[in-house]
Amino acid sequence: MRRLDSCQCLRHPPTFGASTTAADVIDGVDLHGRRAVVTGASSGIGVETARTLAAAGADVTLAVRDTDAGARVVARLEAELPPKSGKLTVGRLDLADRSTVAAFVSAWTGPLHILVGNAGVMALPELTHTPDGRETQFAVNHLGHFALAVGLRPALAAAGGARIVSVSSIGHLFSPVVFDDLDYRFRPYDPWTSYGQSKTANILFAVGAAERWADDGITANALMPGNVGDTSLARHMDMQQVADFIASGAIALPPQKTVEQGAATSVLLAASPTVEGITGRYFEDCAEAEPVAERAGAVAGVAPYALDRENAARLWAVSEDLAR
């Protein structure tokens, strides 16, 4: 199992890049006999990820908060997918609710080959907490996925060569994980540093899982899907606040992608033979990201704190405590 060090960067084939689509990545890949779970697969790149994996033959469970919406997606995809596609099913999963995570894990039987942690919330305008007292973005984007992956670890290990895909964001450049104040009980709440902290946690989870679960044959990588406008991720956001934030220069965005392009890196990490055995890395535009030294002006790249193994180990310990 290959874990790239700081001087080894996986490069994409010449035909893969920012404009690559999920269909391009999956071309020629046969996933019949594989089982996948995609969280947040009722809209946006989650739907496209599920569609692409199923088209290649994988049986895909759409793990969603709104099962009626999930059922509508399944009906639409089944009408569109080619013959011999994999089976699509819906499972209820509310990442802010520990009981639904536990129920999803308990209901799962048999091996699991692909786990895509795609669901998330972004830039909630006001500080909110889950019923168990955790700041909502950190709880949904990281802790819920952490508990899900830990619970499904036996199923992933049973698959032999399972892959975990953690959907992060360039937003991780807004903040490292602030271990002394995860829930904004001391510092003033800010929607973007909160989002950034949770997205950094998504990357650190992949680093931690790569360290701990390699002997189970499990690989774990994180990614930035790109600037994809057609998603429900921004459903809680104050759009004027976003416009003001962009205008201020506090955030720089890469060129916008289609949903099909946005799902490409998720599908690459979930299924492509070109990344076989690669683990503990962060990707964008279907290639491993370059490190960046500061946020100012950055429209790509990964912050060193997001790949730091000590940070990953500390987050893993904290997450285990909080998930109990």
Any idea which residues carry the catalytic annotation?
A: 195
Residue with tokens 């912050």: 303
Residue-by-residue DSSP string for 265-299: HHHHHHH-GGGTT--S-EEETTEEPPB-S-STT-S
Cα angle value 244/96/76 (rounded, 5°): 80
Q: Could you tell me the end-to-end alpha-carbon distance of the chain, in angstroms, rounded to an integer?
A: 31
Q: How far is residue 73's CA from residue 94's CA, in Å, rounded to a whole number?
A: 17
**Contact (CB, 8 A) for 173 and 292:** yes
DSSP state of 96: T
Mapped onto helix, strand or coil, the DSSP state of residue 213 is helix
- Give the span between the Cα atoms of 36 and 55, in whole angstroms: 12
